[in-house]
Amino acid sequence: MADPFKERLLVALKEEVASREPARPARSHRRKYALAAGFAAVVAGAAIVGVPMLGEDPAYAVEREPDGTIKVKAGFDIEPADAAAIQRKLEFFGVPAVVDLLRGGEDCAGPRGAYVGDEDGSPPDGFITQTDSGFDDDDWSHWNYRIDPSRLEPGQTLVWEIHTHGEGDSKGVTGDVWIVEGPVRPCEIVPGDF
């Protein structure tokens, strides 16, 4: 049995889709839903051994695991110098990297180069995975990564765009991660969706 509402709504929504610019949606919507859906994650808490930082709540951490993978962590309080330090440390561990820090409303113009990976630009499965360093009742949104450098081919570079945005309870840090084959375009800051 046909559902008239379903068909009418489809027509209205398809008109909405057809009327849109092909490139990007309204900024307010992406920010709202991306944040609320949990792409934002406040990184807090556990001190990580081996971090060249003072204090108990490091803004970042990069450490190599016994299995050769590298754990990377970034927090909301990260500074531009920290992004540079992450890049240096990744390179020290043998991972060619470009790390950029972006604040709310900023984005890097894309593409940054020839992306390697899934059709949407995501790195191949297994290159980067989410990890937990622990959780507690008040903050179970730790967002840490584990990178497997053995999956990088010669000539490829890890590009990590760190975004901090929001404030108060909704503040967060997100990361766009790409693998680029060959040269990496410097980050040209353009208005962003977060």
Partner 1 sequence: MDEVHPKDVGTDADAFERFYRAHYERVTRFIARRVDDPCTAADLTAEVFLAVVDTAHTYRPRKGTVTGWLYGVARNVVAEERRRRGRDLAAVRRITGRRLLDAEGVARMEERIDAEHAARRIVAALDGLPEKTRALLELIAVDGLTVAEAAAALGVTRVAASVRLHRARKTLAAVVEPEPVYV
Binding site for partner 1 (CB under 8 A): 3-6, 8-10, 12-14, 16-18, 20-26, 29-30, 32-34, 36-41, 118-120, 122-123, 125, 128-132, 135, 140-142
Nearer to partner 1, 85 or 159 (CB): 159
Cβ atoms within 10 Å, residue 147: 25
Nearer to partner 1, 65 or 79 (CB): 65
Nearer to partner 1, 10 or 190 (CB): 10
- With beta carbons less than 8 A apart as the criterion, state whether 43 and 169 touch: no
Please tell me whether the peptide bond between 191 and the residue prior to it is cis, using omega within 30 degrees of 0.
no
Q: How far is the CB of 11 from partner 1 (least distance, A)?
A: 9
Question: In the structure encoding, which two tokens stand for residue 165, read together?
Answer: 């945005």
Nearer to partner 1, 85 or 179 (CB): 179
Chain mean position to CA 75 = 12
Q: How far is the CB of 142 from partner 1 (least distance, A)?
A: 7
Between the CA of residue 48 and those of 51, 73, 141, 142, what are the distances in Å?
6, 9, 17, 13
- With beta carbons less than 8 A apart as the criterion, state whether 96 and 153 touch: no
Cβ atoms within 10 Å, residue 191: 10
Q: How far is the CB of 52 from partner 1 (least distance, A)?
A: 26
Q: How far is the CB of 36 from partner 1 (least distance, A)?
A: 4
Nearer to partner 1, 10 or 109 (CB): 10
What residues form DSSP beta bridges with 97?
158
Q: How far is the CB of 6 from partner 1 (least distance, A)?
A: 6
Count the residues in the chain: 194
